Structure 1
Amino acid sequence: MSGPLAGKVCIVTGASRGIGKGIALQLGEAGATVYITGKYLFCIFFFCCGLSPSGDVKVGGTLQSTAEEIESRGGKCIPVQCDHSNDEDVNKLFERVKTEQNGRLDVLVNNAYSGVTAIAASIKAGNTFWEEEDGMWDTINKVGLRGHYIAAVHAARLMVPAKQGLIINVSSPGGLMHFATIPYCIGKSGCDRMASECAIDLRKHNIAYVSLWPGAVRTEHVLSFGKGNEDQSADDKASKMMKRMIETGETPEFAGKAVVHLAADPNIMKKSGKIVHTTWVANEHGYSDVDGRHHINPFSIKYMLNLSGHTWLAGVTPEFIRFPGWMVAAMYHHF
């Protein structure tokens, strides 16, 4: 298959559904050979990349169905059952890629995450960190933060001899603020810091490492969240803002388009060690979401006005007027 990533070998962890699936679909469509991982090949299980509204909602999806959709688009996909909390499973995954692809690995996307149900339950209960169940840290960060690091170690061992490659952590602004649960915030902040620190060691080997922030994404679970909160008070400002975020949210494949452009960017080393937002990549390369929509930079004044309900004022405000990065950091960090 031809495409901007023809001949490339990629791994996307946690690709049964949601953002991981969207990334895998776009990589396959761009011509790459894509290895996708998940805990189960065929079973329906609970998963979401980001926040889940409720631990009671079941959303289906399998590695096999993702692989079939990639193949139907003309791509090549290899589904691999892998529990990212099990180091031996991860080792077998990378050994398989090494053997089957003659040691080649061009892109690793760290997306696997298993703490969604625990986070949802904690939000619902309104727990402080000392009221959480024992083991909450591991529940949220063993597959997430720790799993990303272990996968990055294995990926680097394949990429360094080739003197090329790209590693991406799917993260979120959750590392900037007090949100959801403490282990979640620390985990997302750690994902960003991991990209920054690992990039230092990898730079001399021409390997880039970035942290990717999608915006609000219309995953299966997020859409279920919207339906599950329709009975909330119309006067609840937080609920109104959440509803607008969902309505204007990205499709899961928008992050995939960002990954494709990052992987094909000849100047990717300039972004290494940095946080990259999906809308920034879209604006840089001039593309829209798969449904044709243009997504507004979430750090722009226009986005904030639209989210708060001032749609008329947002309509006449240029998108390029935005909060600078240093100001955003200063707002949420206390030194």
Structure 2
Amino acid sequence: MSLTGRICIVTGASRGLGKGIALQLGEAGATIYITGRTLTGRPGDPIGGSLTTTANEIESRGGKCIPVQCDHSKDEDVAALFERVKTEQNGRLDLLVNNAYAAVNAISENLGKPFWEQPLSIWDTVNNVGLRNHYMCTVHAAKIMVPQKHGLIVNVSSAGGLSYLFNVAYGIGKEACDRMAADCAVELRKHNVAFVSLWPGPVMTEHVDQVLQTSKSEKQKQLFDGAESVEFAGKCIVALAKDTNIMSKSGRILMTPELGLEYNLRDVDGRVINSMRQINWILGRNPNTAWVQKWLPNFIRLPFWMFALRGSKF
């Protein structure tokens, strides 16, 4: 079952996870609107990537792509995006992926600094496009999906929503993304619109690849050993979009490796992606215990209730 005829929006798709997700949706036959701040990339950007490049790759895989220049920090740009989709697609929207993020560089520049030594602007840098905008896009998408009585919304989040990762603003934003999916799902359920929060594991984005090339940190390299490609999350979202029982997952946090196991998915290079619930995966992230990894089978996993204890506030 392909996604031919499905109308999708993927925000922040010029590179990284957004690009990978859009490529997989295109390969499945969907029509995709992709967004970014510029069509041709930002001058002097060492990583590169552009909406036009992504669009060309999507078209080459059999999908139809409409690149839209959109600054997700501007309310009027976001409103115009959804109005355009509504007009051009006769009021139809099947899938929204909230992925746009503007804080990668700011997080890297302030890594290791306590929150009181970071600029106050870090809050808005992390949680304007990465959180507030997700809510705005969701509101606009719901206005299209609710009348049509179907749709799927995905927040791209991370395990930073469970316990400390990178910095304070990051963790607050990711936990809020997870809660957004859970609470919006309550109100959307009776309209047959699903909303999930997606946790990829460590991902080998262009930025991560560039950092690792010059990094001298063995711990950092160990963390991304066996990382998933930017397209694996896209494979998971395609599977979710095809799932006729998707409402049973609405409101939940879904981990990409767990979805890979459920839907029998492999990464683009044929690998089975390990889950952060696997005991051998957890031990493998620490150079002091990595030697144990090969001796433990993959099926020995932390149960979800135990995994969730890390996030307990009581």
**Which one-letter code corresponds to 1:314 in the other structure?**
Q
1:29–1:74 CA contact under 8 A, matched in 2: yes
1:303 aligns with one of 263, 267, 281? 281
1:45–1:61 CA contact under 8 A, matched in 2: no
**Which one-letter code corresponds to 1:317 in the other structure?**
L
- Is it true that 1:326 corresponds to 2:314 in the alignment? no
Structure 2 counterpart of 1:52: none
Structure 2 counterpart of 1:50: none
SS of match in other structure, 1:297 = coil
* Deviation per residue, 1:25-51 (Å, 9 max, x gap): 0001101100000000013369xxxxx
Shift of 1:181: 1.6
Structure 1 counterpart of 2:54: 66
**Aligned-pair Cα RMSD in Å:** 1.5
**Which one-letter code corresponds to 1:117 in the other structure?**
N
Structure 1 counterpart of 2:158: 172
The 5 A counterparts of 1:1-335 are: 4-44=2-42, 58-123=46-111, 126-229=112-215, 232=216, 239-309=217-287, 313-335=292-314
Shift of 1:268: 0.7
Identity %: 57
Shift of 1:242: 2.3
For this pair of structures, how many residues does the alignment match? 313
Matches of 1:304 and 1:162, distance apart in 2: 43
SS of match in other structure, 2:231 = helix
* Deviation per residue, 1:101-139 (Å, 9 max, x gap): 00000000000000112111111xx32222221322111
Structure 2 counterpart of 1:49: none
**Which one-letter code corresponds to 1:221 in the other structure?**
H
1:85–1:143 CA contact under 8 A, matched in 2: yes
Distance 1:165-1:137 versus aligned 2 partners, 3 A rule: same
Matches of 1:313 and 1:116, distance apart in 2: 33
Specify every segment of 5 or more residues in structure 2 that has no aligned partner in the other structure, as ranges. none
Deviates more, 1:36-45 or 1:103-112: 36-45
Shift of 1:304: 1.7
**Which one-letter code corresponds to 2:93 in the other structure?**
L
**Which one-letter code corresponds to 1:223 in the other structure?**
D
Matches of 1:81 and 1:224, distance apart in 2: 26
Shift of 1:313: 3.9
Matches of 1:186 and 1:58, distance apart in 2: 29
Specify every segment of 5 or more residues in structure 1 that has no aligned partner in the other structure, as ranges. 47-56, 233-238
Structure 2 length-normalised TM: 0.96
1:209–1:272 CA contact under 8 A, matched in 2: yes
SS of match in other structure, 2:271 = coil
Shift of 1:306: 2.9
